């Protein structure tokens, strides 16, 4: 009996600890926030609708609004990526020329246009840079144009180059711009993209990842996540090293449905297994907490944590969230919070400090 009491007490302590979730922070905006990138424990940038870009240098005690980029007052900045308190890029998402990339080197006081979408039917979904030592390798992903996912690669000479051999798309397939995490970059021209839509979700590995660096086409892997309609699929992917990763998603129109909301891989994204105990609803973002050695996923009906590499998930909170870059989470109506206890940055999602590439 004493052993059972002790086991019950330990279980209760674990549940209470898991629910020590997020401390709200004052964003001083009501904009829908979908972009967040923490450089380190002190410096982070956030972005969202109506040309909104925010920055903190003191761990979120003060969030300051940056200048709105030129002609961007009505743009929806769904992605932001920073290297320090001065240097960052922000991506807006929208049809045609509403998809753009701007950069700053003076803490957001001034912005210059880096790229503008010239495809009338195009829509940009993710602006992400490398992990595992490849922090200045950039990939810009957009919905399919001409049967292939729009893909721009940032070259070593700091030029963006359109990748005409980008991953092929099926009819009705797309990526999601819900959290700027539908793609993950391992290094130079090495990335993985997760998709959704009516054909069902897939993971697409770039040719340099596909097969011993010799493949000419992307490796296509099915994902055991919700699919079958335009609102369902894989929304976010992240890896804690070159082999272990998580993909999350579901159906954003059915946020309470648990089926098909998380899957895990232990071989670099070549094979995926559905979580045996999934998150408690649709999830638009996932990130790795290196110190806690745990995954955290967030979506419009809350957040969850996994301590066994994505096989099982436990509820953290029931808030309304869009995107993660630990220790921060953002959501609609200017919602912005920090993981309670000041959990440190996951190394795999941060980039080395320094000037823009």
Q: Which is nearest to 160 in space by CA: 179, 178, 174, 141? A: 141
Q: pTM for this one?
A: 0.89
Number of domains in the chain: 1
Answer yes or no: is 266 within a domain.
yes
The 10s digit of each residue's pLDDT in 259-309 is: 999 999 999 999 999 999 999 999 999 999 998 999 999 999 999 999 999
pLDDT at site 91: 98
pLDDT at site 345: 37
Q: Which is nearest to 328 in space by CA: 339, 312, 315, 317? A: 339
* Alpha-carbon gap, residue 10 to 82, rounded angstroms: 40
Answer yes or no: is 317 within a domain.
yes
pLDDT at site 18: 39
pLDDT at site 134: 53
Burial annotation 220-242 (CB, 10 A radius, 16+ → b, else e): ebebbbbbeeebbbbbbbbbbeb
Answer yes or no: is 174 within a domain.
yes
CATH assignment at residue 178 = 2.130.10.10
Answer yes or no: is 354 within a domain.
no
pLDDT at site 354: 44
**Structural domain boundaries enclosing 320:** 2-349
Burial annotation 175-194 (CB, 10 A radius, 16+ → b, else e): bbbbbbbbbbbbbebbbbbb
Burial of 198 from C-beta contacts in 10 A (0-12 / 13-18 / 19+): middle
Distant-in-sequence, close-in-space partners of 250: CB < 8 Å, separation ≥ 6 = 225, 226, 232, 235, 257, 258, 259, 260, 261, 281, 282, 283, 299
Cβ(196)–Cβ(236) below 8 Å: no
pLDDT at site 129: 94
Cβ(356)–Cβ(103) below 8 Å: yes
Radius of gyration of the CA atoms of the chain, in A:
19
Answer yes or no: is 355 within a domain.
no
* Alpha-carbon gap, residue 129 to 349, rounded angstroms: 9
**What residues in the chain have per-residue pLDDT under 70?**
1-20, 131-135, 210-215, 342-357
């Amino acid at each position: 009996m004493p052993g059972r009491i002790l086991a019950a007490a330990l279980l209760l302590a674990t549940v209470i600890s898991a629910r020590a979730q997020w401390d709200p922070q004052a964003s001083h905006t009501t904009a829908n926030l979908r972009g967040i990138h923490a450089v380190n424990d002190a410096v982070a940038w956030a972005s969202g609708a109506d040309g909104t870009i925010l920055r903190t240098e003191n761990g979120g005690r003060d969030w300051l609004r940056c200048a709105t980029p030129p002609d961007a007052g009505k743009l929806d900045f769904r992605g932001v990526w920073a290297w320090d308190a001065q240097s960052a890029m922000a991506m807006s998402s929208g049809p045609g020329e509403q998809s753009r990339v701007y950069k700053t080197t003076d803490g957001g006081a001034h912005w210059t246009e880096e790229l503008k979408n010239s495809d009338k039917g195009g829509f940009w979904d993710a602006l992400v840079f490398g992990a595992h030592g490849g922090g200045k390798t950039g990939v810009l992903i957009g919905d399919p144009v001409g049967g292939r996912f729009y893909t721009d690669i940032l070259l070593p000479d700091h030029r963006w180059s359109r990748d005409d051999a980008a991953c092929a798309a099926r009819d009705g397939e797309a990526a999601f711009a819900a959290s700027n995490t539908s793609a993950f970059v391992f290094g130079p021209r090495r990335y993985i993209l997760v998709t959704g839509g009516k054909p069902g979700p897939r993971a697409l590995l770039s040719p340099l990842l596909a097969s011993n660096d010799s493949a000419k086409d992307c490796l296509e892997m099915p994902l055991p996540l919700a699919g079958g309609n335009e609102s369902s699929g894989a929304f976010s992917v992240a890896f804690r090293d070159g082999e272990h990763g998580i993909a999350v998603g579901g159906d954003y129109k059915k946020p309470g449905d648990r089926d098909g909301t998380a899957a895990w891989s232990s071989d670099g994204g070549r094979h995926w297994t559905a979580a045996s105990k999934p998150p408690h609803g649709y999830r638009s973002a996932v990130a790795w907490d290196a110190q806690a050695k745990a995954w955290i996923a967030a979506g419009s009906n809350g957040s969850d944590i996994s301590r066994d590499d994505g096989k099982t998930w436990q509820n953290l909170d029931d808030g309304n969230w869009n995107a993660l870059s630990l220790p921060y989470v953002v959501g609609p109506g200017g919602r912005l919070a920090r993981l309670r206890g000041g959990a440190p940055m996951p190394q795999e999602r941060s980039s080395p400090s320094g000037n823009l590439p």
